[in-house]
């Protein structure tokens, strides 16, 4: 099966935006559909960032991190590199942007990016209160609990 194109994702999300405006629409179901569509979009793309902590952990375990798609994260995890793909902007914030209609779907998809971080770093981010919101942007929110991220070289 061929992957869904960006323009197809844009069409799907635009249609869900239109559907959400109907007063008879079950908003919870539409939110779930938008959430799943946004997650699927990132699953098919390489991460944009990687934390220094994830790089150090992989080096300590002598594991090469080549993650082109979400499913590629399982191999290093099986080799003891406890990492996760983390959405730089929480998906619920992106869902809100789709629903409010103030931002184009193309811009939302462009900002729907992920970072490879260690599981410990992910817990730090959540403990700092950044699980659901990233006030001031994701760079500030990663920096505050001491998570250094850099552009990944695995972008194709």
Q: What is the pTM of this model?
A: 0.88
Question: At residue 101, does pLDDT exceed 60?
Answer: yes
- Total count of domains within the chain: 1
- 36 phi, psi to nearest 5 deg: -65, -35
Place of tokens 């220094």: 52
Question: At residue 5, does pLDDT exceed 90?
Answer: yes
The pLDDT, as a whole number, for residue 154 is 54
Phi-psi region of 81 (alpha: psi -120 to 50; beta: other; left: phi over 0): beta
Give me the chain's average pLDDT, please.
Answer: 91
The pLDDT, as a whole number, for residue 77 is 83
**C-beta neighbour count of 126 within 10 angstroms:** 13
The more confidently predicted of residues 10 and 46 is: 10
Tell me what the mean pLDDT of segment 73-84 comes to: 85
Question: At residue 156, does pLDDT exceed 80?
Answer: no
In a domain, 134, yes or no: yes
State the residue range of the domain holding 76: 6-151
Distance from C-alpha of 58 to C-alpha of 61, rounded to nearest angstrom:
5
Place of tokens 């793309």: 45
- 118 phi, psi to nearest 5 deg: -75, 160
In a domain, 45, yes or no: yes
The pLDDT, as a whole number, for residue 67 is 80
In a domain, 156, yes or no: no
In a domain, 109, yes or no: yes
- What is the band of 78 on the pLDDT scale with cuts at 50, 70, 90? confident
Tell me what the mean pLDDT of segment 21-48 comes to: 94
In a domain, 136, yes or no: yes
In a domain, 31, yes or no: yes
Question: At residue 152, does pLDDT exceed 90?
Answer: no
Tokens in use for 139?
A: 């760079």
In a domain, 122, yes or no: yes
In a domain, 1, yes or no: no
């Amino acid at each position: 099966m061929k992957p869904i194109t960006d323009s197809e994702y844009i069409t799907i999300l635009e249609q869900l935006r239109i559907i959400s405006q109907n007063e008879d629409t079950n908003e919870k179901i539409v939110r779930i559909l938008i959430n799943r569509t946004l997650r699927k979009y990132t699953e098919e793309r390489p991460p944009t960032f990687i934390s220094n902590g994830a790089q150090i952990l992989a080096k300590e375990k002598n594991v090469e991190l080549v993650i082109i798609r979400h499913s590629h994260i399982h191999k290093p995890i099986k080799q003891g590199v406890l990492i996760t793909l983390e959405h730089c902007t929480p998906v619920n914030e992106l869902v809100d942007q789709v629903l409010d209609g103030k931002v184009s779907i193309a811009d939302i998809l462009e900002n729907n990016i992920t970072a490879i971080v260690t599981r410990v770093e992910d817990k730090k981010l959540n403990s700092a209160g950044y699980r659901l919101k990233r006030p001031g942007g994701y760079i500030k929110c990663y920096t505050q609990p001491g998570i250094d991220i850099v552009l990944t070289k695995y972008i194709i």
